[in-house]
A and B are shown apart, each in its own frame.
Chain A
Amino acid sequence: MRDNTTTHGKKRLVKSFFNAEHIKAWLYLSPALLFLLLFTYYPMVQVLWDSFFHRPYGADKELFVGFDNYSRLLNDENFITAVKNNFIYAIGTVIPSIVIGFGFALCLTQSSRFKNCIRSLLFFPTLVPLVAAAALWMFIYFPGIGLLDYYLAKLGIQSTDWLGSPDNALYSLMMLTIWKNAGFYMLFFIAGLQGIGEEYYEAASLEGAGWWQKLRYVTLPLLGPTSAFVFVIALIHVFTHVDHVIVMTLGGPMGSTNLVLYYIYQNAHEFNDLAKATTATVLSVMVLLAISFFSIRTMERGIHYES
């Protein structure tokens, strides 16, 4: 009896899965799905698989080594440095560029010809390719005669080796990143701010709110979804952009600007340690997945808008 109903239920399930509506839906999805499988999911699985194999220099085939690659990676000082650098780089670029972008947006939300001009100027760095921006900033950072030192000298400040000293190099890259991204985030915040109804502010002013209270109780909470979104984008930037490292410092001096992605690149193409590069890729993909999963959850929780 019971068996009967379950098989019946199963049949129904199979039937409903293959009903016309579903088939249509799958057909519509298939082109996108195909490419997603081919170029995203398949490589991800392949990389995960590869991270358990290793071909020592001179060996003629790959050997299954279990978690050996992972322990080699975690014991590699250079990897640990790259992770630490990435961490400092993340905190030191994401937070300032979001805060600055938000500040710009607050000042520039209302449209006027002047403000539109300023907006475009602030957005401009986003349009410059990172490689070009890095080349530009090399001139700015050039010790002694670079733009920055030139003006600092006028203030009586001695010339600094911005990119050549292990103490400064990472922070110099961070400056460039903030300059490049703040305007981009500003754009999202402007869109978010323009989506907040004027009546919320009017109600707040009648209820007795001043400028700060409106920001604290109205603007910030209602910008929750925008902020979460910008935060994710900013974090992804941190992990996926290394053009400036390649152009400006090659991870140096003394590994002080080595970021995880550059580390992967180096191991794969310079040191020919594909196994290590693969394993580091697996770890960073996992981190990225965790970030997007976590932040999509927060975003969804942050959406207060009426259905």
Chain B
Amino acid sequence: MASIAFKQIYKSYGNISVIKGIDLEIKDGELVVFIGPSGCGKSTMLRLLAGLEEEDSGSMYIGDSLVNSIAPKDRNIAMIFQNYALYPHMTVAENIGFGLKLRGMNKKNRIRAVDETASLLGLEHLLTKQPRQLSGGQRQRVAMGRAIIRNPKVFLMDEPLSNLDAKLRNQMRIEIKKLQRRLKTTTIFVTHDQIEAMTLADRIVVLNDGKVQQVGAPSKLYSSPVNKFVAGFLGSPSINFIHARRTGDNELTLPDGQCVLLPVDQAQILSDLREVEIGIRPEQIDIVKSRQTTMEENTITWSSSVSLIESLGSEKLVYSYHGEHEVAVKTTNSNGAVEGSNIQLSFSMNNAHLFALNDGRCLSPLAGIAQKGSI
């Protein structure tokens, strides 16, 4: 077990720079999830730490030791690959014990260790099978077995669940989390699936374009994104963005001409910005019966026409158009909305995030605090 530190990491392939100066510290025993769109550099970071790629500059520490120039096999890292990379010519037992065999452990101890690991993962009855005889979930477990048997300092998991079907994915996700809690091994988990990230992580690292966008606990990232990218990337359906012009010190005008007054603290942060985007989460919009007459001054009400309703069981996703804007609402009370009907949407600016139009940074006070907080 060990902490991990990345310091000013840069990496490029030819002319294409993929990691542009990343600083990151991961605490001992933490489960950190790297998330970001394809090509954001999340897998590259993992491969750099594993030693499968070489960084252009910067330094990486595992525990107290600088690992830049240490060979992959001596970094004491175990990695789980997206397609598991199980050896098709070896049995499950041989696959799990491969690392121990390479490190010269004698056969008796090796068999004992394999048996222990197998029972931890419920693989006892599969030890003599070959990988091609196993189901996806079982292969996944064998790959985990190969990783944990050596008791490495760090686990690296590169989208390990993406080859599984949805149900199995949920189940394995829970197993990974339980296992990690039990073993307390520092883990980096790479995914592009935000549900995996939100549910697994102690802390999430959102990456985009080779840079860290934000680091923090899942709930914090969700409630206080530092910029438009993070706000848009986390949450399903995605946060709604609405363009707004500033027409007074604490007054914004929406494209439909509706004016809204900002709470005083939000207004201060705007300083001299003329244009902003309002971000509002789908679950923070209500569907109301009719245009409320006693409108609070920082509440926005829209009439819009419903284009699609998706039922999630207890909740409903209502997609509607307000002018050209598609607005997603997640609610338990759809107030009788049906596809094609007109409904009234209402939300309070107290729940909204404000983003600068020019650089996408978040202007809400909460996000401001997060930005200065421990990253």
Contacts and interface: CB of A to CB of B under 8 A. Distances in A.
Interface of A: 197, 199-200, 202-210, 213, 217-218, 221-222, 224, 304-307
Interface string B50-89: 1110000000000000000001110101110101010111
Contacts of A205: 51-52, 71-73
7 contacts: A202-B50, A206-B51, A207-B99, A217-B102, A218-B87, A304-B130, A306-B132
B146 interface: yes
A289 B50 CA distance: 50
Given A199-B81, A199-B83, A213-B102, A206 B72 contact: yes
A68 B69 CA distance: 75
Interface string B144-177: 0010001000000000000000000000000000
Contacts of B98: 204, 207, 217
Given A205-B72, A206-B79, A304-B132, A200 B102 contact: no
B103 A208 contact: yes
Contact of A210 (B73, B78, B89, B131): B73
A209 B79 contact: no
Contact of B85 (A200, A221, A305, A307): A200
A207 B89 contact: no
Nearest to B52: A202
Contacts of A222: 87-89
A206 B70 CA distance: 12
Nearest to A304: B88
Minimum-distance CB pairs A-B, first 7: A304-B88, A207-B99, A199-B85, A203-B85, A221-B89, A208-B73, A208-B102
Interface residues of B, number: 26
Contacts of B51: 205-206
A303 B100 CA distance: 26
A205 B85 CA distance: 12
Contacts of B103: 208
Given A207-B146, A304-B88, 15 more contacts: A199-B85, A200-B85, A202-B85, A203-B81, A204-B102, A205-B72, A207-B78, A208-B99, A209-B102, A217-B87, A217-B98, A221-B90, A222-B88, A304-B130, A306-B132
A224 B90 CA distance: 13
Interface in B23-51: 50-51
A196 to B, nearest CB: 10
A213 B100 CA distance: 13
Nearest to B86: A203
Contacts, number: 69
Nearest to A303: B88
A231 to B, nearest CB: 18
Contacts of A200: 85, 87
Given A210-B73, A221-B89, A222-B88, A203 B132 contact: no
Nearest to A200: B85
B99 to A, nearest CB: 4
A207 B77 contact: no
Contacts of A203: 79, 81, 85, 146
Contacts of A197: 83, 85
A304 B94 CA distance: 15
Report whether over half of chain A's contact residues are helix, strand or loop; otherwise say mixed: helix
Nearest to B103: A208
Given A197-B85, A213-B102, A206 B78 contact: yes
Contact of B50 (A204, A206, A208, A307): A206
A200 B83 CA distance: 10
Nearest to B99: A207
A208 B81 CA distance: 16
A307 B89 contact: no
A187 B271 CA distance: 69
A307 B132 contact: yes
A307 B71 CA distance: 34
Contacts of A306: 88, 131-132
Contact of A304 (B50, B79, B89, B146): B89
Nearest to B71: A205
A304 B73 CA distance: 26
Contacts of B90: 221
A209 B88 contact: no
Contacts of A210: 73
B330 to A, nearest CB: 39
Contacts of A307: 132
Interface string B114-152: 000000000000000011100000000000001000100
Given A207-B73, A207-B146, A222-B88, A202 B132 contact: no
- B75, B98, B103, B131, most chain A CB atoms within 10 A: B98
Contacts of B89: 221-222, 224, 304
Contacts of B99: 207-208
A64 to B, nearest CB: 53
A213 to B, nearest CB: 6
Contacts of B73: 205-210
